[in-house]
Structure formats: C-alpha cells, structure tokens
Amino acid sequence: MSARRPLNGMRCPRAILFDWDNTLVDSWATIHDALNFLMRAMDKPEWSLDETRERVRLSLRESFPIHFGERWEEARDIYLDRFREIHLDRLAALPGREEMLRSLAETGIFLGVVSNKTGPLLRREVERLGWADFFGSIVGAGDAAADKPACEPVRLALSRSGVEPGEQVWFVGDTALDMQCAENSGCIAVLLGSPVSSDEFSREFNRFPPHLSFTDGVSLFRSLEGLRIDGVRPSS
C-alpha cells in the first residue's frame, strides 16, 4: 500500500501516537489463546488465528456486548483473568521497534501510546519492556470517555504534550481502525507494517486509507529524519 500523501511539503510532526498490539509488540498468539479459553468457557466455537486477526479491533467494552450479549461482563472477566496469567511471559517487541522508539525519543518529538488494550494491562506491558521513559502518555481502553476509533483517547494522550490534535500529530497503527481514529482526530494516519490480507480488511482500508505507509520502523524514522534535515523541526 502506497502513501496517500507525499512527504514533500509535509511538516515534521510535533507528536507521534502509536497503537500498541501488533504495531509495537507481537500480541496475536496471546490474544488468540485468551479468546479461545473464553470461547470454551462460554460454550462457543473457537476461532482460528486468522479469524482472531480479522475480528479483534475494538476494545472489550465495545466488542464483547456484540459477541456475548447480556453475558458480556462475565465474558470480559474470564478473558482478562486468562490474559493476565499469560501476557507478560509471552510479551515480545516486534523487530526493530525498540531501536525506532529510542531514536525517535532522541529527536524531542512527543511520543505516546493509544491502545484498545485495557489501560492497566497496557501499562504493565510497557513497564515490562522497559519502555516507559519513551512515552509521555500511555492511554488504554477505559482511560478516556470512549475508546478508539473515537477521538477522546487521542485528546487524552496529547493533553500532557501541549500539542493539539491535527496535522502536526502522526497516529501510527496497523489496522484500518487506527486509520479511522486518526481521521476522527484530524491527525495524519500512518500505517506501519503489513496489514492482514483479506477482502474485509481491503474494504476497510479503502474507507480509511493511510496518509503514509511504512514497512518497518527504520523507514519511518528515516522519513522523519528527512523532514527534519529539510529544516522543518518540531516546534518547542
């Protein structure tokens, strides 16, 4: 997928907000395990890994009422209990992401996380990886009045930065939901990595295409360096 907007003429962002799961860390196996543990407990058919990758986008409070109806709170508790048991032991950064974050942090650009993972679990994972110092804010599901793709978590994440949502903010993620969140917030939508390949995902990305697309953290950082070298540095 190519960038919707060329870098030529674009200003260097003052803030970059990252999705967490499968943008910075590899979480699919853990999510899949916890979901199928839940499905067995609720006497529902298990999902394949491909189905998990295609269906998991919204936060628990948004998606579980759809799948489990009046029992969604019971389902949430079963899922979270299982997830807490296993997520830290299986936590793994995606290749090159720590180096990318370290390099970005050295530029002075404000960095934050906006995720649909439950806030306390998200912050435990950031701490486990030793990445807390990279981020000025870490916002998970339930921390704001609404979750992604609403704009509220973006506003909360930026509240400590002095930067308003808009084109001076890049929102970086791996799904069309992240691109939708960027659009709802007025930010630059940035796809990092290769999205799931399916007809449904293609349709979603057609509705919410990224402004920019990078295959890895190195290419993202080099593009930012190009903007900075061109003389457009983050404002103080």
For 141-158, write each residue's pLDDT tens digit: 999 999 999 999 999 999
What is residue 234's DSSP assignment? P
Say if 8 falls within a structural domain.
no
Say if 10 falls within a structural domain.
no
* Chosen domain end from 65, 90, 115: 90
- Residues 185, 138: one domain? yes
Query: How many structural domains compose the chain?
Result: 2
- Residues 73, 152: one domain? no
164-220 pLDDT per residue, tens = 999 999 999 998 899 999 999 999 999 998 765 555 556 778 888 999 999 899 999
Tokens 């190009």: give the residue.
226
CB 99 within 8 A of CB 217: yes
Q: What pLDDT, on the 0 to 100 scale, is given for residue 29? A: 85
- Residues 97, 200: one domain? yes
- Residues 145, 195: one domain? yes
| 79 SS3 class | helix
What's the CATH code of the domain at 63?
Answer: 1.10.150
What is residue 232's DSSP assignment? -
Question: Which range marks the domain in which residue 97 is found?
Answer: 15-26+93-229
Say if 234 falls within a structural domain.
no
Place 234 in a pLDDT band, splitting at 50, 70 and 90. Answer: very low
| Whether residue 235 has pLDDT greater than 50 | no
81-105 pLDDT per residue, tens = 898 888 888 899 999 999 999 999 9
- Residues 85, 49: one domain? yes
- Residues 120, 131: one domain? yes
- Residues 60, 160: one domain? no
Element of type H or E holding 156: helix 152-158
- What is the C-alpha separation between 115 and 200, in angstroms, rounded? 22
- What is the C-alpha separation between 146 and 148, in angstroms, rounded? 7
- Residues 106, 48: one domain? no
Tokens 């799948």: give the residue.
67
- Residues 182, 119: one domain? yes
- Residues 105, 205: one domain? yes
| Whether residue 44 has pLDDT greater than 60 | yes
- Residues 208, 161: one domain? yes
Q: What pLDDT, on the 0 to 100 scale, is given for residue 190? A: 95
How many other CB atoms are found less than 10 A from the CB of residue 143? 20
Say if 235 falls within a structural domain.
no
Q: What pLDDT, on the 0 to 100 scale, is given for residue 75? A: 87
- Residues 224, 109: one domain? yes
Q: Say what percent of the chain tops pLDDT 70.
A: 88
62-80 pLDDT per residue, tens = 778 888 888 888 988 888 8
